[in-house]
Amino acid sequence: QNPDTHNKTAASKTTTKIAVAQLCSTASKASNLVTIFKLAASASSNNCSMLFLPEVATLLPPKGTTIDNAEPIPPPPSSPPFESTTLQTLSEIAKRNSLHISVGSMHESGAVDADTDEPRVWNTSLVIDDKGDLIGKYRKVHLFSIDTEMTKLSEASTTVGGTSLSPSIPTPLGPLGLAICYDLRFPYLSTSLRHSKNSSCLIYPSAFTVETGLRDWEVLLRSRAIENQCWVVAAAQVGRHDNGRKSYGH
């Protein structure tokens, strides 16, 4: 139920059914897209109007291949056919199942390092409507880095941060505010999405490490929901991936 349109009388309540997918994405785009196809079919058959996927849903690339595997993503609104074969397939999945899909993120090509001019990627969240059109896009602003005995990871080694927030995206769930994973730790971003962008639901597709997930995942999600008095949807990666990395899940 959308808190901004919810009426106090029981007779006027409206309910939107969504599907939130927990994945263990692999190093094969084809395999991941088959999994997403099955999840979309299941969501549609269960009368869901929208499917939410986690961060890097379409590919968790082997080390050293992130830039080579990135694909171009046009600005929204855009209609198929798309140059990106992955985006084209996702568009067809959404249209075939009459389903809005939040693609938690995929790596977008075209970025460069400001200091070295070397190629980089953006970590980009997408929203595709039930006709297969791209209606929303957001490049992750806050890049994750950790260096502990258990986990060593620096997103900035391959990725350039975005520089702006997306407008809220009209969806069956209401106006959607787009954020990704590490953005969860920055309350001003969620406040801006909620109040400046008028979003009634915030999303945080993620691939939290086990170390940080055990400590912070649920409490941060609850905090963002409570302080903004809105819905929060957080699809998560889970389990051990092909490259050895482990994701916390939910």
Give the residue numbers marked as catalytic: 55, 140, 181
Q: Six-digit token pair at 237?
A: 């990666």
Task: For the chain, report the end-to-end CA distance as a whole number of angstroms.
Answer: 22
Alpha-carbon distance of 24 to 128, in angstroms, equals 21
Backbone region of residue 114 per phi and psi (left: phi > 0; alpha: psi in -120 to 50; beta: other values): alpha
Q: Six-digit token pair at 120?
A: 């980089």
Separation of CA 195 from chain center: 21
Alpha-carbon distance of 91 to 76, in angstroms, equals 13
- Classify residue 77 as exposed, middle or buried by CB count within 10 Å of its CB (0-12, 13-18, 19+): exposed
Alpha-carbon distance of 199 to 102, in angstroms, equals 15
Q: Six-digit token pair at 93?
A: 């999945």
